[in-house]
């Protein structure tokens, strides 16, 4: 049986203020064709279909295009993520299931599998666990206030149902922060899920199933190995420069009647590569290699000692898609001298001047020096008179 695992589409999201809906549409078009060409028998979307609970109309329309295009070939199993509204995403679920869209957005859906008869006589029981906010769902699940506790309780329901199913392969789609034996690779674009200071749960909560299709982390990564496998497909597009090195992809699963599940990552189309350039403005503009990034989304970190005039305007003349500008101020000699002295300067005026130079990247002018000295003298006089 061939299953395609994807997640974290975040339809309706922008990238540093730039509308990326057309890039998301390009991904949807590519995905529909992939599902057809690879003869996929089930598509799993593990949460965060939308970027916010009330998505813009254009994002809803694009989701409609995706559902219609994919379900012409195979059914879909979709869970809600922490960015989705379970009520809105799950609207008309029983009716939509008749057309191949199987939504899992509530606690009541957890022990209700989608049963698929696939090629080669494989029967797959696919379960969907929506994002479970401990404060909202622990009472319904009879669990303690933690991500581990609510997921444990949800999986107890899954395992209880599986005990009645006989010889089937199993898949669970879940939207959560799951950690394995190694450190998880997180991104700046992910929303913090911490409750009581803890935001993650161990992969061991999913014991008893063959594959766990995870959503939430935007970088594709495995979090456990045999006897069961859990992995994030990652987001199909980058949503922050922390994802600059990511290979965006979807995961293609080949599930045999028994034995290990084959998994391969299929690279998704890259609408515009990301790059970070660091250096002084004049040096970057003079470097012939800079123009080679004209089609990239560019973050520029300037190291100029003095803030240059109109840096973004000058950059965009060469890099039209420069969208983030930062300044990395190096410690100036006067500041370093104060730090190396091992304590405050004996002359508070010099210390104040060094602070101004550190904050503005420019030594204070003569009039500023005079104002600083006058202020220090007033403080001294006030201290003596009191």
CB 229 within 8 A of CB 211: yes
**How is residue 271 written in tokens?**
């609408």
- Alpha-carbon separation of residue 51 from 12, 60, 87 (angstroms): 6, 11, 15
In eight-state DSSP terms, residue 145 is S
Q: What percent of the chain has pLDDT over 90?
A: 75
How would you classify the pairing of strands 322-327 and 297-302? parallel
Which residue, 22, 47, 20, is CA-closest to 104?
47
pLDDT confidence of residue 69: 98
pLDDT confidence of residue 364: 85
pLDDT confidence of residue 191: 83
pLDDT confidence of residue 228: 62
Owner of token pair 């859990």:
230
**Alpha-carbon Rg for the chain in angstroms:** 27
pLDDT confidence of residue 350: 84
Residue 222 CB neighbours (<10 A): 16
pLDDT confidence of residue 227: 54
Residues with Cβ within 8 Å of 22's Cβ and at least 6 positions away in sequence, in order, are none
Residue 356, pLDDT above cutoff 90 = no
Query: What's the predicted TM-score (pTM) here?
Result: 0.84
Residue 383, pLDDT above cutoff 60 = no
Residue 339, pLDDT above cutoff 60 = no
Which residue, 330, 219, 324, is CA-closest to 277?
324
Rounded distance between C-alpha atoms, residue 361 and residue 324, angstroms: 20
Which residue, 45, 52, 43, 46, is CA-closest to 11?
52
* Mean of pLDDT values over 141-163: 96
**How is residue 63 written in tokens?**
């989701």
φ and ψ of 213, to 5 deg: -90, 105
Q: What is the mean pLDDT of the chain?
A: 90
pLDDT confidence of residue 365: 87
Residue 344, pLDDT above cutoff 80 = no
Rounded distance between C-alpha atoms, residue 78 and residue 60, angstroms: 15
In eight-state DSSP terms, residue 295 is T
pLDDT digits (tens, 9 = 90+) for 263-282: 999 999 999 999 999 999 99
* Mean of pLDDT values over 191-214: 87
Rounded distance between C-alpha atoms, residue 184 and residue 61, angstroms: 33
Which residue, 78, 86, 92, 184, is CA-closest to 132?
86
CB 72 within 8 A of CB 31: no
pLDDT confidence of residue 380: 64
β-sheet bridge partners, residue 3? 42, 253
pLDDT confidence of residue 348: 82
Q: List own/partner pairs for 66-73 with CB under 8 A and 24 or more apart.
A: 66/28, 66/31, 66/32, 67/96, 67/101, 69/28, 69/29, 69/32, 70/31, 70/32, 70/35, 70/43, 71/99, 71/100, 71/101, 73/32, 73/35, 73/36, 73/40
Residue 341, pLDDT above cutoff 70 = no
Residue 196, pLDDT above cutoff 80 = no
pLDDT confidence of residue 343: 47
Residue 333, pLDDT above cutoff 60 = no
Which residue, 204, 275, 211, is CA-closest to 243?
275
Residues with Cβ within 8 Å of 103's Cβ and at least 6 positions away in sequence, in order, are 78, 80, 89, 90, 93, 96, 97, 109, 128
């Amino acid at each position: 049986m061939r299953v395609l695992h994807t997640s974290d589409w975040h339809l309706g999201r922008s990238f540093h203020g730039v509308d990326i809906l057309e890039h998301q549409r390009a991904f949807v078009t590519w995905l529909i064709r992939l599902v057809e060409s690879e003869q996929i028998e089930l598509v799993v979307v593990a949460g965060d279909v939308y970027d916010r609970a009330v998505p813009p109309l254009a994002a809803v329309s694009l989701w409609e295009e995706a559902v219609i295009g994919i379900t012409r070939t195979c059914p879909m199993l979709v869970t809600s993520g922490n960015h989705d509204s379970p009520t809105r995403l799950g609207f008309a679920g029983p009716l939509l299931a008749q057309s191949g869209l199987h939504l899992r957005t509530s606690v009541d859906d957890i022990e209700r599998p989608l049963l698929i008869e696939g090629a080669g006589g494989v029967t797959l029981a696919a379960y969907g666990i929506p994002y479970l906010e401990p404060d909202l769902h622990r009472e319904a699940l009879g669990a303690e206030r933690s991500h581990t506790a609510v997921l444990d309780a949800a999986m107890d329901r899954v395992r209880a149902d599986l005990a009645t199913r006989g010889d089937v392969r199993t898949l669970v789609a879940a939207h959560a922060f799951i950690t394995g034996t190694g450190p998880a690779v997180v991104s700046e674009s992910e929303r913090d899920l911490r409750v009581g200071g803890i935001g993650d749960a161990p992969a061991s909560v999913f014991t008893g199933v063959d594959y766990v299709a995870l959503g939430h982390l935007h970088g594709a990564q495995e979090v456990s190995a045999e006897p069961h496998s859990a992995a994030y497909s990652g987001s199909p597009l980058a949503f922050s420069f922390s994802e600059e090195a990511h290979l965006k992809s979807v995961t293609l699963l080949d599930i045999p009647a028994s034995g290990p599940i084959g998994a391969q990552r299929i690279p998704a189309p890259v609408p515009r590569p990301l790059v970070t350039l660091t250096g002084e403005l004049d040096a970057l503009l003079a470097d012939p290699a800079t123009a080679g990034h004209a089609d990239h989304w560019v973050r520029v970190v300037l190291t100029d000692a003095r803030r240059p005039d109109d840096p973004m305007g000058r950059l965009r003349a060469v890099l039209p898609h420069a969208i983030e500008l930062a300044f990395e101020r190096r410690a100036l000699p006067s500041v370093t001298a104060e730090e190396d002295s091992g304590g405050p300067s004996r002359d508070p005026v010099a210390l104040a001047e060094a602070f101004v130079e550190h904050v503005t990247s420019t030594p204070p002018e003569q009039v500023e020096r005079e104002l600083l000295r006058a202020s220090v003298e007033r403080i001294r006089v006030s201290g003596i008179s009191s």
